[in-house]
Amino acid sequence: MLILPLMALIAYMALVGLVYLSQRALLYPGAGATPIAEHASWGQTIHIKTPDGETLQGLYSQGDDDKPCVLLFFGNGDRVNNYEFLAQALATRSIGLLVISYRGYPGSTGSPSEQGLQTDGIAAFDWLSARTRSKIVVLGRSLGTGVAVNTAGKRPAAGVILVSPYLSVLSVAQTHYPFLPVEVLLKDPFRSDLNIGKVRQPKLFLHGRLDDSIPLSSGEALYRIAPEPKRMLIYDSAGHNDIFSDSMVGDVIGFVEALKGNVS
């Protein structure tokens, strides 16, 4: 009578242990991927030193000084050379773009963690602010929204764009794994809900209604607690990986250009 419950308990504990040990591989699937070519399809290859000794590779397309520059933090399975379409769209309006490869991701040293990625975000902002007179608009996508929120809360960004944001990685993990004690297991909770109150800059929230990776409800919950000024746009036919449409990119450009009056 006790054998089956005991076997079930052992299997469950084994599953918990496996998830705990492999969680960073699950959270950062783009780490350790094929390196980025020094001569990528867009922009200039740059390298940024972090305060803790890592080297980040990125791509940078410089715009005009009288236009804001976009600093993009991508999603967990993404890479910098996937953003040629955005760089080209921004360049038509003389807007610059910097996309960094997080530590442990292609071209960068180290291993990813929440603390590491937050350090990377600040280092990227400081590198860019030292090289341009443009105001900086921070754009985060998916996992990168947590990096964007932290960066904008600690640095004078002109505006913040959050694409498929979450209340926290913890809350998203609890949604996907309700049978696991996620709150105890999770090393990198990315608590945007605790940081968004520090982000007083103009904010644009963008989310797909069909998103099954980061539920719209999570983005809406973050939006509700975010301070003004803020705006949210929901794309009815978009999911998680297909949210970047011409219309959405147009909304991004419109938001960025509306900030040009703040540029010194």
- Torsion angles phi and psi, residue 20, rounded to 5: -60, -45
| pLDDT tier at 1, thresholds 50, 70, 90 | low
State the pTM of this model: 0.93
Q: Is residue 163 helix, strand or coil?
A: strand
Between vectors from CA 253 to CA 226 and to CA 198, what angle results, nearest 5°? 20
Q: Please name the residue that has the structure tokens 């009815």.
A: 236
Task: Note whether 55 and 108 are within 8 A (CB).
Answer: yes
- State both tokens at 14: 């084994």
Would you state the structure tokens that stand for residue 186, as one six-digit string? Answer: 């999770």
Quote the mean pLDDT of the chain: 93
CB atoms within 10 A of CB 62: 17
Q: What b/e readout covers 228-256, taking b as 16+ CB neighbours within 10 angstroms? A: eebebeebeebebeebbeeebeebbbebb
* CATH for 36-262, options being 1.50.10.20, 3.40.50.1820, 3.40.50.720, 3.30.390.50: 3.40.50.1820
CA 97 to CA 137: how far, in whole Å? 9
Q: Where are the domains of the chain?
A: 36-262
pLDDT tens for 143-160 read: 999 999 999 999 999 999
pLDDT tens profile 200-221: 999 999 999 999 999 999 999 9
The backbone torsions φ and ψ at residue 38, rounded to the nearest 5 degrees and listed phi first, read -60, -30
Q: What pLDDT, on the 0 to 100 scale, is given for residue 11?
A: 87
| Paired residues of 133 in beta bridges | none
Measure the CA–CA gap between 136 and 89, rounded to whole angstroms: 17
